[in-house]
Amino acid sequence: MLQYIARRVLMMIPTLFAISVVTFIIIQLPPGDFFTTYISNLAAMGESVDQTVVEAIKKEYGFGEPIYVQYGKWIWKIITQGDFGRSFQRGRPVTELIGDRLALTVVLSLFALIITWVIAFPIGIYSAVRQYSIGDYIFTFLGFIGLAVPSFLIALVLMYIAFKYFNQSVGGLFSPEFVDAPWNLAKLRDLLNHLWIPTIIIALEGTAGLIRVMRANLLDELHKPYYTTAKAKGLSEFQALIQYPVRVALNPWISSVGWVLPGLVSGATIISVVLSLPTTGPMQLQALLNQDMYLAGSFVLLLSALTVIGTLISDILLAWIDPRIRYQ
Amino acid sequence: MSQPTDPAAMPGQTPDITASEEAPQEVEAKIMVASQWKLIWWKFRRHKLAMISGIIVIAIYFVAAFAEFFEVFPPDQYAARYTYAPPQTIHLIDMSDGTPRLAPYVNGYKVTIDSFSLRRTFVVDPEQKIPFRFFAKGFEYKLLGIIPWDRHLIGPVNPEDPFYLLGADALGRDLLSRMIAGGRISMSIGLLGVAISLILGILLGGLSGYYGGAVDNIIQRIIEFLRSLPTIPLWMSLAAALPITWPPLYVYFGITIILSFIGWTGLARVVRGRFLALREEDFVLAARLDGAPQIYLIMRHMVPSFLSHIIASITLAIPGMILSETALSFLGLGLRPPVVSWGVLLQDAQNIRAVSTAPWLLIPGLAVVIAVLSLNFLGDGLRDAADPYGR
């Protein structure tokens, strides 16, 4: 087992390297760079730019040098100092900017994730055990709707309903008077008041898919003889179900549970844009649109690295839980 | 998701086709001689939801193909007087002179302009009747890009009259016409994207499955790598990399290629898996021992037995493409006006102020949902039917 983990960790290194190269190429793809746009914008407004400052920054990041030199400078700083560069637009280090929003993003995503699981697992199990019952049909139907409706549409509709019938604005996480206020109990209560709608919308996004996966997997297991045997030996229906088929049916879910990791950080971009939540998602969108390349690149790199690590965690969990898997 | 487990099916079990009044032997005989496609069709026909969805999908693509005929106005024709005009209700029967008479009309608007906010409010004016007719004369266009015509399915008798069955947007453009125009773009992006994915998938997946060894290894590593990248940030970065200066057509193809860039890996896996499994099948071995040439073996024996699966997989891949395009365009990273797609239309409904003044701007979302749902159901039905000997 240890050997397996060690080998997988070693295999991650070339993958991460390839990812960093691809990321860098992608963020370099747009023609021009931030400064060209920035300077021409300022010039258009009749302002001048302090050329020495621009030159200094350009030199620091190796603008105008071959792309592999730029890449080298970028990756070297990340590895040696944990320095992901600066956001040109906001003039602050990338780590600081992401750090500012990370806590809130993780809290929001984590709550949403827990809600997803709490809803999806019981429903999935119920739908499989009571296949073709009215409940199953209702949940299957809702599940299909859930898969077909884009999450931002749900957000828009809920926002409209909340605005129209409850006269409540849903956007943002704080009421205007609390945005800049220091943390206290009233602010926390205000946050919780705003938090639940986005949390539920984000949670709903993954629920439908998980219900369907759980139902399909469990259905495959319920027809197997070991389940009949367990019941014949006198285990209660519930015990037999939870201890054997459900455990096996969880495997496909475990094999993708690692992707929760990048999900926690990416901050449900589209929903966050619609509901104007201060998560990492909208910041990344802005960075991409403005060619703020180090901010955008760090995001993609961070999320890709987390995806790879997540996959590793999933594989280890799977190898640990499922005795049929051998470490080869 | 899980594969249908065919070993569980009883060997002697025959699918009960709908012709139940026939004697069992006759049914048996019919099944024995039926071609594979016939068996698939029989099985598919029993799936009512999939049948209905199939009809809806065909209807949507039909409307998309002949979009200009179904549009009332050109999708970019604006009318500042009718900013955010609400949807009108259709009246088929005119009761005004006591006796009912078949004369379809919609009511006009009474417009009041708020002197403070300068916002127009529209009230339905029952006095004012705007007659409309089917196959009305309207703007000129070329059907399928070839046949010049000026008839439209529906249109006001006087083309100058306001006629907004689904309301108007911020520039007074007709939402119905824009939605139909958007359907053409959104639905075709799904098809085209899947076609590109399919070519890449079959080519690379087939190579991988057929040759095995080093080729297989390299292609599988590439697929694994592409799958280890997070989809949404990757799409967003690639879409943001499309130059602003590109003409709309280039952007359209650019977005399609970006979407298929990830999509092909899934299809390649399906193709490879099928190839690997089929290579070991008895009937393939038998054909090989019979001395069938390789290309004949592949085309005559292997391809037909996984073609149905591939068709089901691509049907299920189209809705994903449509949803992705919608999401990207909605964020402003995908297609850009003046190109109209469902995602571009929904962009107008992005803030609560627009939605609360004009809730009908959300209607294109309904089109997305219907298209995606019916493609999903159709794909599910096809997947079940693709394996006529399964459960």
Domain presence at residue B368: yes
Domain presence at residue B52: no
What is the number of domains present in chain B?
2
Q: Are residues B132 and B207 in the same domain?
A: no
- What b/e readout covers B111-120, taking b as 16+ CB neighbours within 10 angstroms? eeeeeeeeeb
| Interchain contact, A18 vs B323, CB within 8 Å | no
Residues in chain B within 8 Å Cβ distance of A223: 8
- State the pTM of this model: 0.80
ipTM: 0.77
Q: Are residues B248 and B331 in the same domain?
A: yes
Bridge partners for B155 per DSSP: B133
Q: Of B114, B138, B166, which residue constitutes the final position of a domain?
A: B166
Q: Are residues B115 and B234 in the same domain?
A: no
CA quadruple A211, A214, A220, A226: dihedral sign: negative
Domain presence at residue B241: yes
- Written as tens digits, the pLDDT of chain B (391 aa) is 344 444 434 344 444 444 445 566 676 777 777 777 777 788 788 878 888 989 999 999 999 888 888 888 888 878 777 777 788 877 777 776 767 777 777 777 777 777 676 677 777 777 777 777 777 777 777 777 777 887 778 777 777 777 787 888 877 788 888 899 888 888 888 888 888 888 888 788 777 777 777 888 888 888 878 877 777 777 777 777 777 777 877 888 888 888 887 778 877 877 777 777 777 788 888 888 888 887 788 777 777 777 777 777 788 888 888 888 888 888 888 887 788 888 888 888 877 777 877 888 888 888 999 999 898 888 888 877 776 555 4
Q: Are residues B182 and B161 in the same domain?
A: no
Q: How many CB pairs under 8 A join A and B?
A: 124
Is B330's Cβ below 8 Å from some Cβ in A?
A: yes
Q: Are residues B209 and B86 in the same domain?
A: no
Exposed (0-12), middle (13-18) or buried (19+): which is B365, by Cβ within 10 Å?
buried
When pLDDT is averaged across residues A291-304 and rounded to a whole number, the result is 82
Domain presence at residue B390: no
Q: Of B145, B166, B187, which residue constitutes the final position of a domain?
A: B166
| Interchain contact, B237 vs A289, CB within 8 Å | no
Cα–Cα distance, A203 to A111 (Å, whole number)? 8
Domain presence at residue B299: yes
Helix (H, G, I), strand (E, B) or coil at B275: helix
Show which of residues 207-246 on chain A sit within 8 Å of chain B, judged by CB atoms: 212-213, 216-217, 219-220, 223
Q: Are residues B259 and B365 in the same domain?
A: yes
Q: Are residues B341 and B204 in the same domain?
A: yes
Q: Are residues B102 and B208 in the same domain?
A: no
Q: Are residues B248 and B357 in the same domain?
A: yes
Beta-carbon contacts of residue B75 (< 8 Å; ≥ 6 apart): B173, B174, B177, B178, B180, B181, B182, B340
Is A148's Cβ below 8 Å from some Cβ in B?
A: yes
Q: Are residues B147 and B278 in the same domain?
A: no
Q: Are residues B302 and B193 in the same domain?
A: yes
Cα–Cα distance, B8 to A155 (Å, whole number)? 43
Q: Are residues B191 and B112 in the same domain?
A: no
Helix (H, G, I), strand (E, B) or coil at B175: helix
Domain presence at residue B192: yes
Q: Which of A169, A284, A289 sits opposite B352 (nearest CB)?
A: A169
Q: Of B109, B139, B166, which residue constitutes the final position of a domain?
A: B166
Show which of residues 210-269 on chain B sit within 8 Å of chain A, judged by CB atoms: 225, 228-230, 232-234, 236-238, 240-241, 243
Cα–Cα distance, A284 to B237 (Å, whole number)? 9
Cα–Cα distance, A281 to A260 (Å, whole number)? 15
Q: Which of B230, B243, B327 sits opposite A152 (nearest CB)?
A: B327
Residues in chain B within 8 Å Cβ distance of A206: none
Domain presence at residue B26: no
CATH number at residue B192: 1.10.3720.10
Domain presence at residue B76: no
Domain range for B148 is 82-166
* φ, ψ for residue B152, nearest 5 deg: -135, 150
Is B381's Cβ below 8 Å from some Cβ in A?
A: no
